[in-house]
Amino acid sequence: MIARLLERVLRVLGSFALCIGLLAVLFLLTGFGTLEQRYASIYDVQRKYFESLFLTEIQITAGGPIPVLLPGGYVVLTALAINLLIGGVVRVRKSAPALALAAATVTLLVLVLPRLDAVGLFVVGGLVTALLLVLTGWVWPRRDWARLGVLVTHGGILVLLAAGLVEFHFSTKGTLALAEQEVGGVYQRAGDEFQAYYEWDVILAEHLEGGGVREHILPFERFEDLGPGQSARFESAALPFDVRVSGFARNCLVVQEPSGGVDGLALRRLDPDREKAEVNTPGMLLTLIEKGAGAPTQRALLHAEQAYPWRVEVATGGSRRTFDADLRRRRWAVPFTLKLDDFTAAYYPGTNRPKEFSSRVTKLEDGSTEPVLISMNQPLRHKGYTFFQSSFEPPRRVELPDGRVVNTPWVSIFSVVRNPADAWPLTACGIILVGLSVMMLRKLGGYVRAEARRRAA
């Protein structure tokens, strides 16, 4: 009884109808998600359409949002993976050895290939798959090549979906700006950490008695979706107070508010930037609350662009503890240091069109140095981190915080990514290419033979 029910469920989960339905929903999501990019930044669209569980409204015309009810990208892609596993891999099996061999193929590729370099990966991935296919062919009943091709192709798509899942959950992305000369403590030539594009954490830096600092972090994920009237409370045994975040605005300005506000200041909400979410400047009201009783004691506005952190002193049990509260971009440490030696921007002669830009950097690690060239399409990959030449700033005259007016140096800007699934798509691509080629060539052979028979008849 239960076995039959299970079989039924499996049949539905692996059905063509579900597959077509999911593909159609993904098709719609992609289409709407593209059209909405006229009205919202790609970051917002991505969160709303492709990383979401459900989608309740779309904005694809200037006329305002249209209510819909669709599963979000996260749900659809997960369901598609399940559908594919059950319908595309499990159901086409005809013999246990064949299935085992095919599974071994995919596993081997996923495990071994990411250790190769880009082109080698692609070529070797394809060759190994082809070889295993031939081997599998001998144990496959009736040597059903088309079905084998289907199996391998679906395996490749699964690898691709898995790569997306791993990237979504386990990758970090940010940026690192290095200058050609050190200027005024603002521009630095060397760096061993990179900062986020989108994530802003609240840092409570506690000054310890013997010198040194202990950081307590209120992570962005806990307050980024707070609406205007909502708040979030943070509790920690390590802190002598609780913390409340309220009035969070993704993009705002600090304005004078003589009548009320916080210390005569208030936040004015702005619409998030339509094109680049990374230029938004968030702000919030931070309130310290007595533990237990919950009465607010001190409060201050935190804003992305404030020059100094908010200094709080708290008396607890006879001793005073000092904290600096700051809202800043999340930072990730890199286990080595990069130092910019030279940045070059070349233009096509007589035009403003950049031909190439590149940075000569030195990689410093454990006392050893290594020169590296990073340019467009030629990143530096090391220890799971990848540095890309993403942008630059030419020199200009600016006033430093200390009042001096200086010429800024050339600044080279890198994107930094740490993604465990970095090379998986390439592997997937090789697998899919082989799988589909086997299917197609077999079909083409059939077509040619049929036409030849017809003409002979």
Site residues (CB under 8 A) for other proteins? 15-17, 19-20, 23-24, 26-27, 30-31, 33-35, 37-38, 42, 45-46, 49-50, 118, 160, 163-164, 167, 173, 347-357, 376-379, 386, 388, 390, 415-417, 419, 422, 425-426, 428-429, 432-433, 436-437, 439-440, 443-444, 447-448, 451, 454-455
Residue 60 CB, nearest distance to other proteins (Å)? 11
Specify the residue, 182 or 451, whose C-beta has the smaller distance to other proteins: 451
Q: How far is the CB of 142 from other proteins (least distance, A)?
A: 19
| Nearest partner of 116 among 107, 108, 125, judged by Cα | 125
Considering the complex, state which of residue 139 and residue 448 has its C-beta at the smaller distance from other proteins. Answer: 448
Cβ proximity to other proteins: between 27 and 138 the closer is 27
Phi, psi of 37 (to 5 degrees): -65, -10
Q: Give me the least distance between CB of 90 and other proteins, in Å please.
A: 16
Residue 259 CB, nearest distance to other proteins (Å)? 36
Output the smallest distance, CB 300 to other proteins, in A.
36
* Per-residue CA distances from 63 to 58, 271, 386, 395 (Å): 11, 17, 42, 43
Residue carrying the six token digits 């708040």: 231
Residues linked to residue 375 through DSSP beta bridges, in sequence order: 358, 378
In the complex, the smallest distance separating the C-beta of residue 423 from other proteins, rounded to whole angstroms, is 9
For helices 96-112 and 424-456, give the axis angle rounded to 10 degrees: 130
- Please identify, using beta-carbon distances, which residue of 233 and 355 lies nearer to other proteins: 355
Cα distance between the two ends of the chain: 54
Determine the Cα–Cα distance for residues 12 and 10; give it in Å rounded to an integer: 5
Closer of 260 and 349 to other proteins (Cβ): 349
Buried b (16+ CB within 10 A) or exposed e, 53-68: eebeebbbeeeeeeee
Paired with 243 in beta bridges are 234, 288
Q: How far is CA 267 from the centre of its chain?
A: 29
Which residue, 19 or 304, is less far from other proteins as judged by CB? Answer: 19
Which helix (H) or strand (E) covers residue 397, if one does? strand 397-399
